Amino acid sequence: MSDMPERNRAAGSGGGLERFRQIPVEIRAAIIGGIIAVIGGLITAVVTLAADGPGPLAVPPSPTVTVTVTASEAGDTEDTGGPSPTPTTERPVPSPSPTPSPSPTPTPSPPAVPSPPAADEAEPAGPAPGTLRRASAGPMSLYSGDCVDLDSTEPAWGAPRGDFCVDGIYLMNEEMSTFDREPEFADCQAATASTNQVSPFEVMGQWVCARSSEGRFARVFVVDYEQTAWKLTFELTVWE
């Protein structure tokens, strides 16, 4: 029976603390703040009175004390159904992505323009000068008034028209030189033209260099001349 008061006091103390914990956190914070404000006011009054000596006691206004109760301080408070403080969560602000530089648009190259053909294209090189162009297979015959073409490739050498002719008792060509020996191309090329006509009787058994209308050199060997028939027999060689 002797320890019953102690138990009642303990139960009364525990019940009061339990009821205080059931008070919302905001109200509890306000009560604590008021108590602290009153105590602070009393302390300030005592200090002022002691410093100023006897006189009327002036109670200064109580300072406003703001008490902030965080979630950590109220961690042991039971849930009373009131709104719980919402913790603030800081979200990382994403760094701005670098703006890619625009790629330069490639400029298309203009289409290739084909080069125009040369105005004067070089013709294929012909045979070298002095190359044998053509030679008779044997003796040939011409009558007075007939000609052969020294540039011709026809079987009859273009007769009866051409640039080497028989006219009566003369052999006719624009450029002729006579030789008592068989001349070669270089001899005909180096010879100085002496005449444009010569008597076949003067060159019987000899050679005559002649020039074609296209500039080729020719060698004529006079085999015979029959005056009664006005017929010349000869052999012919033409070079390029």
CA atoms of 231 and 171, how far apart (whole Å) = 11
> What is the model's pLDDT at position 74?
40
Q: Are residues 47 and 139 in the same domain?
A: no
Give the domain-ending residue among 78, 107, 124: 78
> What is the model's pLDDT at position 15?
60
Residue 108 lies in a domain: no
Q: Are residues 146 and 73 in the same domain?
A: no
Q: What is the CA radius of gyration of the chain?
A: 72
Q: Are residues 140 and 214 in the same domain?
A: yes
Residue 136 lies in a domain: yes
Residue 109 lies in a domain: no
Q: What confidence category does residue 104 fall into, taking pLDDT thresholds of 50, 70 and 90?
A: low
> What is the model's pLDDT at position 20?
64
Q: What is the pLDDT of residues 47-83, one digit of tens each?
A: 666 665 554 444 445 455 444 444 444 444 444 444 4
Average pLDDT over every residue of 170-180: 96
Q: CA 207, 210, 215, 216 torsion: positive or negative?
A: negative
> 216: Cβ–Cβ under 8 A, 6 or more apart, which residues?
133, 150, 151, 238, 239, 240
57-66, 125-134, 169-178, 212-221: segment of lowest average pLDDT: 57-66
Number of domains in the chain: 2
What domain range includes position 13? 1-78
Residue 99 lies in a domain: no
Q: Kindly state the helix (H) or strand (E) to which residue 147 belongs, with its residue range.
A: strand 147-148
| Higher per-residue confidence, 65 vs 149 | 149
Between CA 218 and CA 176, with CA 170 as vertex, the angle to 5 degrees is 30
Q: What confidence category does residue 35 fall into, taking pLDDT thresholds of 50, 70 and 90?
A: confident
Q: What is the pLDDT of residues 2-25, one digit of tens each?
A: 454 455 454 455 566 667 677 777
Q: What confidence category does residue 138 fall into, taking pLDDT thresholds of 50, 70 and 90?
A: very high
Give the domain-ending residue among 34, 59, 78: 78
Residue 196 lies in a domain: yes
Q: Are residues 64 and 139 in the same domain?
A: no
Q: Are residues 53 and 141 in the same domain?
A: no
> What is the model's pLDDT at position 70?
44
| Higher per-residue confidence, 55 vs 229 | 229
> What is the model's pLDDT at position 10?
47
| Higher per-residue confidence, 97 vs 201 | 201
Give the domain-ending residue among 78, 105, 121: 78
Q: Are the C-beta atoms of 40 and 62 separated by less than 8 Å? A: yes
- Any alpha helices (H) in 58-114, and if so which ranges? none
